[in-house]
Amino acid sequence: MAATNRARPIVAAIVTLVSILVLFISLHGFGPRFDIAAHKALGRMVAEEALKARGSAGRITVLARDTSTQENPYAEAELKTLQQTLKKARGVMTTTRLLKLNPIRLIAVAPGDYFEILRKASENDVVVSLVGPPVLSDSDAAKLGEKHAKVIAVCAGWTPRQVDLRRIFEQGLLTAAIISRPDPSASGGGSTEETFNRNFALITSANLSELPLMASAGLTK
C-alpha cells in the first residue's frame, strides 16, 4: 500500500510532463521556424524572368546549392518554388545541377565550371544561378563571344559588395542580377511580387546605378 502511495506522485509528474511536451509540440513543432516567404517569392520571380528571357526552343539550366549534407531551408525554398514555376510552363526543357559549395566561403561557382556551362549552351538558352554570377576573366568572356546563353543570377547578401557586378554586366555575361535590399522585410503579406520587391531588387544593364558600392570602393572614399 505504501509503495502504491509513493508511486502516485511519480506517475502524476510523468503525465504532467508528457502533457506539457504534447502542448509545446502542437504549438511550436520541432526545431526553429523559418520564414521562407521571401525566398519562395524569389524562386518564383527568378523563374518568371527566365521564361521571359528564354528564346525559341531554348532550355533552362538551374544551378543550385546541394543541401543533401547540410540543410538550408532558404535555399531549398528558392529551388523548390523555382522548379514548380518552371514545371507549369509546358514544353520547357529544364536541367538542375546541384553544386557542393564551401559553406564558409562566398557562394560562387568555379569559373571553369561556369565557362563550360555557358560554352555548351546556345544563345536561346537561359542559365539560372541561385549561387552567384559568372566571374570570368576578360579573355574567357571574349572566347564565349557575344552569342551565348542569357544568365540570371541571384547575388544576394554581401555578393554585390564583394563581386564587381558592373564589370560582369559590361562583359555581357549577365542579363539580370537579383540583389538583397538593405532593409529587407519578409513580413507584410501581399502578393508574391510585393513580397519580392520588399526584399530584393532586379538589376539589369538599365539600372546599374542601383548596385551598392563594392566594399573596397567604399574604403577608398
180: alpha, beta or left? (left if phi > 0; alpha if psi -120 to 50): beta
Closest by CA position to 108, among listed 134, 126, 72, 82: 134
Query: pLDDT tens for residues 165-174?
Result: 999 999 999 9
Query: pLDDT tens for residues 95-140?
Result: 999 988 766 555 678 899 999 999 999 999 999 999 999 999 999 9
**pLDDT score of 220 more than 70:** no
| pLDDT band of 16, cuts 50, 70, 90 | low
**pLDDT score of 149 more than 80:** yes
Q: How far apart are CA 89 and CA 189, in angstroms?
A: 26
Q: How far apart are CA 217 and CA 161, in angstroms?
A: 9
**CB 138, CB 173: distance < 8 Å:** no
Per-residue DSSP letters for 123-181?
A: TT-EEEESS------HHHHHHH-S---EEEEE--TTHHHHS-HHHHHHTT--SEEEEE-
Q: How far apart are CA 191 and CA 96, in angstroms?
A: 27
User: What is the reported pLDDT for 75?
Assistant: 92
**CB 130, CB 52: distance < 8 Å:** no
Q: How far apart are CA 14 and CA 26, in angstroms?
A: 18
CA angle in degrees (0–180, nearest 5) for 30-34-36: 140
- Top-confidence range, 4-8, 12-16, 79-83, 155-159: 79-83
Q: Which three cell numbers stand for residue 23?
A: 502542448
Q: Are strands 176-180 and 200-203 parallel, antiparallel or unpaired?
A: antiparallel
pTM given for the model: 0.79
